[in-house]
Amino acid sequence: MQLIGSLAFTAFLFGWTFLYSIGFVLIAGLLPFRRRFALARAWAAVLLGVLRWTCGLAHVVEGREHLPREPHIALWKHSSSWETIAMSVILPRQVWVLKRELQWIPVVGWALRLLHAIAIDRRAGRAAVAQVIEQGKQRLAEGDWIIIFPEGTRMAAGQTRRYGVSGALLAAEAGRLIVPVAHNAGEFWPRRGLRKRRGVIRVVIGAPIECAGRDPRAVNEEAQRWIEAEVARLATDAASTRRGSRPTERSSR
């Protein structure tokens, strides 16, 4: 039954996204950005509801009290397709840093352009970092959060690689904070897996990291240490729950 539910959700995901993108492209150009983002959030909320109904996969969020009122830069663990949907529901109005190839997808790519995505060429090196900083400052000034997957691509559960430094550089130059976000979605919706496991994805929002007067590389390393330690803790808690043991206490930054 879990496989059938997963197949049903996948079919709905592609169909809903394509049809919704058509309608979005037709009307979004007439709307201010805050209303465009509200439409994007509605798209994501429907998908999360259908995911829960078809696959029994829900989520909870811990640490909302750590979210500042002003827009800042959020660094998200990237281990699944789930977070690309859920982040627009969990955090305030936002724009995403993503690979430019996504904007080449017919209809869907057009919608991403209307959502002010910062589309970079990941092979461009320093030029891509400069683009994130330049456009990121503009989006922050407009009142939008910046969402970055610092690993640059989805990593299998339990794996990571060196985080890109563009988020920390942007935070330092714009006088903003880094907000780290960890989760265990990769345990339930694998990077290349079709079957979704029943359960509850846990999302943990960490305490903001101050960047003023600090080396961006040190900020980046601190964010990576916290995120990866929290992801490991969530994996341990999930394993303990399956064995009937008590989960560990939540760690602090």
How far apart CA 150 and CA 77 sit, in angstroms, is 8
pLDDT single digits (tens) 24-40:
999 998 999 999 999 99
Whole-prediction pTM: 0.91
Q: Which fold has domain 2-243?
A: Glycerol-3-phosphate (1)-acyltransferase (3.40.1130)
SS3 24: helix
Give the pLDDT confidence of 79-130 residue by residue, as tens digits.
999 999 999 999 999 999 999 999 999 999 999 999 999 999 988 888 999 9
Residue 1 binned pLDDT confidence (cut-offs 50, 70, 90): confident
Q: What is the pLDDT at residue 252?
A: 44
Q: Domain-by-domain residue ranges, the chain? A: 2-243
Q: Provide the mean pLDDT of the chain.
A: 92
pLDDT band at 244 (very low <50, low <70, confident <90, very high): low
pLDDT of residue 92: 96
Higher pLDDT, 248 or 57: 57
Predicted confidence (pLDDT) at residue 246 exceeds the cutoff of 70: no
Distance CA 70, CA 68 (A): 6
**Cβ atoms < 10 Å from Cβ of 162:** 11
| pLDDT at residue 49 is higher than 70 | yes
Alpha helices in the chain (DSSP H): 2-28, 33-55, 82-90, 108-114, 126-141, 166-174, 216-243
pLDDT of 250 reads: 53
pLDDT tens, 10-21?
999 999 999 999
The predicted structure's pLDDT at residue 251:
46
* 122-152 confidence digits (pLDDT tens): 888 889 999 999 999 999 999 999 999 999 9
Stretch (H or E) spanning 75: strand 73-76
